[in-house]
Structure 1
Amino acid sequence: MELVAEQVVGLGGGRLLVGIDGLTAAGKTSFGHELAECVSRAGRPVLRATLDDFKKPWKDRHLYDRESGEGYYRNAYDYDLVKRLLLDPCKSQGEASCALCGIDPLTQRDHTSVVTPVAADAVLIVDGVFAFRPEIDAYWDLRIWLEVDTELSIARGAVRDVNWAGSGAEEIHRNRYLVAERIYLAEADPMPRMDLVIDNSEFARPRLISRRTA
């Protein structure tokens, strides 16, 4: 984690945007929190956000398919909202604040009016599936991919989501989320653009697989 933080800080001054992607349940959110702590200890102000907080509201779900794998990939996330509230303000030195959340995915409460100051040298760390889709790929100064096996992704996700999905959790992960990920990997082809690829099969022992240097 310290090695990754060093690479982030080594990108220089000014605002930096770091994207963390990987299969569902790869450990993106926890990794982002730990990376934020390391970057903060290195002396940089840090902001944390997750793309899950910029999904389209459930009240509009009748307008589009979000239940199939393809529907989830095409329709679940509101990329115009994440650009307008989060990525554009953090990328522009002329903006002093941003919103770190759109619609809370659990409570469905609207947080779009809640803003957070953005320092001139802030590091924004964002985790989420499909982080390197064409709609938002150009924003990132550093791209991180957490690598896990597909079956491990399904198993972790099923355990994580059993409270709301019940016995159908594994089926949802296999037939919706994994299908969506495969479409993403085939269409967006994000892997050649990764700056860091990290094997996160063991949460306590992440392993650097590849690192692209300038």
Structure 2
Amino acid sequence: MELPELIQRIETRRHEAARPIVVGVSGYGGSGKSTLTRQLVARLPGAVRIRGDDFLDPTRSHKRSSDWDGVERLRLVSEVLTPVREGRSSVFRRYDWGRGELGVAERLPYAEVLIVDLIGLFHPDALPSIDLSIWCDLDLETSAQRGIDRDAGMGRIHDRLWRDVWLPNERDFEDQFSPRTRADVVYPMSD
């Protein structure tokens, strides 16, 4: 599948729903979720991106868990996904990484298509609130190396976290929830 075909699939889903829709983009850390999401938002009229990193708990996301416990899916669903799908206004709070706490409440922007990219998104707590799920299909080892390289390029050396926490979390989540098979679209990512 190429990008124009994916965009058409989203447009079709939006017209079928006759209401605002939520598109979830997930994949392993480093697989290209944010890149794909930015490309989609740039090409889809009325699309808005919500960064999944705004819904991570920094303490829990740096610890081992079998279900990516540090992903605050219930907060994402209640503050963002449900209000968008219901076409109502809401406020949400991004995690302020600089201050180490939730930021001030801000108005949820209106979106005809809301696209959220996040690890561990295809979980039973969030999937019912997603109208179209897209899996960024790149193998775990390549994704992780890209993530490690990206972090190093920003001066963040997270090698131990990748090796001891994030890669095992990815494997456990995959074993428990099979996110790739739950996706409506498996989108090939280049390595």
Same fold, judged at TM 0.5 (above): yes
Report SS of the residue matched to 1:52: helix
- Can you list the C-alpha shifts for 1:79-119, whole angstroms capped at 9, x where unaligned? 232122111211213x13443x5213345464341113425
Alignment equivalent of 1:151, drawn from 136, 141, 144 = 141
Between 1 and 2, higher relative CO (CA 8 Å, sep ≥ 6) is seen in: 2
Distance 1:157 1:107, change over 3 A: farther
Preserved CA contact (<8 Å) 1:2 1:38: no
Preserved CA contact (<8 Å) 2:7 2:44: yes
Which residue of structure 2 lines up, in the alignment, with residue 211 of structure 1? Answer: none
Name the CA distance, whole Å, in 2 between partners of 1:123 and 1:117: 11
Structure 1 segments of 4+ aligned residues over 6 angstroms from their partners: none
Alignment equivalent of 1:9, drawn from 5, 8, 11 = 11
Preserved CA contact (<8 Å) 1:81 1:102: no
Alignment of structure 1 residues 195-206 onto 2, 5 Å: 195-202=184-191
Name the CA distance, whole Å, in 1 between partners of 2:132 and 2:156: 34
Alignment equivalent of 2:39, drawn from 19, 34, 38 = 34
Say whether 1:140 aligns with 2:130: yes
Identity percentage of aligned residues: 23
**Superposition deviation, residue 195 in structure 1:** 1.6
Greater C-alpha radius of gyration = 1
Say whether 1:102 aligns with 2:104: no
Partner letter of residue 34 of structure 2?
Answer: T
Name the CA distance, whole Å, in 1 between partners of 2:155 and 2:188: 28
Partner letter of residue 145 of structure 1?
Answer: W
**Superposition deviation, residue 130 in structure 1:** 0.6
Say whether 1:161 aligns with 2:156: no
Name the CA distance, whole Å, in 1 between partners of 2:181 and 2:82: 24
Which residue of structure 2 lines up, in the alignment, with residue 210 of structure 1? Answer: none
Which residue of structure 2 lines up, in the alignment, with residue 52 of structure 1? Answer: 53
Name the CA distance, whole Å, in 2 between partners of 1:38 and 1:111: 29
Structure 1: give runs of 5+ residues left out of the alignment.
Answer: 203-214
For these two proteins, the number of residue pairs brought into alignment is: 185
Which residue of structure 1 lines up, in the alignment, with residue 26 of structure 2? Answer: 21
Give RMSD over aligned pairs: 2.2
Say whether 1:127 aligns with 2:127: no
Partner letter of residue 155 of structure 1?
Answer: Q
Preserved CA contact (<8 Å) 1:19 1:126: yes
Report SS of the residue matched to 1:70: coil
Distance 1:72 1:133, change over 3 A: closer
Which residue of structure 2 lines up, in the alignment, with residue 170 of structure 1? Answer: 159
**Superposition deviation, residue 164 in structure 1:** 4.8
Structure 2: give runs of 5+ residues left out of the alignment.
Answer: none
Name the CA distance, whole Å, in 2 between partners of 1:21 and 1:117: 21
Preserved CA contact (<8 Å) 1:66 1:72: no
- Can you list the C-alpha shifts for 1:146-196, whole angstroms capped at 9, x where unaligned? 111222122111111124543xx3332122111111111111122222221
TM-score by length of 1: 0.77
Name the CA distance, whole Å, in 2 between partners of 1:127 and 1:145: 10
**Superposition deviation, residue 72 in structure 1:** 7.8
Say whether 1:116 aligns with 2:117: no
Say whether 1:68 aligns with 2:63: yes
Name the CA distance, whole Å, in 2 between partners of 1:161 and 1:177: 13
